[in-house]
C-alpha cells in the first residue's frame, strides 16, 4: 500500500457509515504497520458526528515500519509514529471529547 492508493483515499482501520445513528464500540484499536512505503493515515477510526455514536477506550498503535496514524478517531487524539507508539482515546460520543490519554499518562 502507498500513500496514493491507501492513505489519501479516506480509508480507516474501523469506519462507521455516515448514515449510522446509533453505534457503541469498546476497546477498538487501529494498528500501523506499513512495511514497504511510508503511509501517513489521517485517522485510525472514522465515525459520524452523531450523539448516538460512541467509542470507549479506543487506541492507535504504531507496530513497526514506516508512516504514522495522525489521530485515534475523527481528528481527536494524538498521532502514533516511530517515536510515539501508543495513544489511547478514552471517550468519544458524537464528536464530544471527554478524555484522551497517552501511554505515559496511564503510568504516572
Note the pTM of the prediction, 2 decimals. Answer: 0.83
Give me the residues of the chain with pLDDT under 70, please: 95-108
Q: Is 70 left (phi over 0), alpha (psi -120 to 50) or beta?
A: alpha
- Average pLDDT over the chain reads 87
Cell numbers at residue 43, please? 485517522
Burial of 51 (0-12, 13-18, 19+ CB in 10 A): exposed
What is the spatial distance between Cα 63 and Cα 65, in angstroms, rounded to a whole number? Answer: 7
List Cβ neighbours of 7 (8 Å cut-off, separation of 6 or more).
1, 39, 40, 41, 42, 67
The pLDDT tens digits of the residues spanning 59-78 come to 999 999 999 999 999 999 99
Q: Residue 100: what pLDDT?
A: 52
Q: Residue 107: what pLDDT?
A: 46
What are the boundaries of each domain within the chain? Answer: 3-106
Amino acid at each position: 500500500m502507498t500513500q496514493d492508493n491507501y492513505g489519501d483515499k479516506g480509508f480507516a482501520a474501523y469506519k462507521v457509515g455516515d448514515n449510522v445513528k446509533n453505534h457503541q464500540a469498546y476497546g477498538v484499536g487501529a494498528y500501523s504497520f506499513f512495511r514497504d512505503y511510508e503511509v501517513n493515515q489521517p485517522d485510525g477510526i472514522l465515525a459520524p458526528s452523531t450523539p448516538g455514536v460512541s467509542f470507549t477506550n479506543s487506541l492507535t498503535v504504531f507496530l513497526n515500519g514506516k508512516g504514522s496514524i495522525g489521530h485515534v478517531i475523527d481528528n481527536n487524539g494524538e498521532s502514533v509514529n516511530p517515536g510515539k507508539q501508543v495513544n489511547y482515546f478514552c471517550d468519544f460520543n458524537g464528536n464530544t471529547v471527554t478524555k484522551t490519554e497517552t501511554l505515559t499518562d496511564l503510568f504516572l
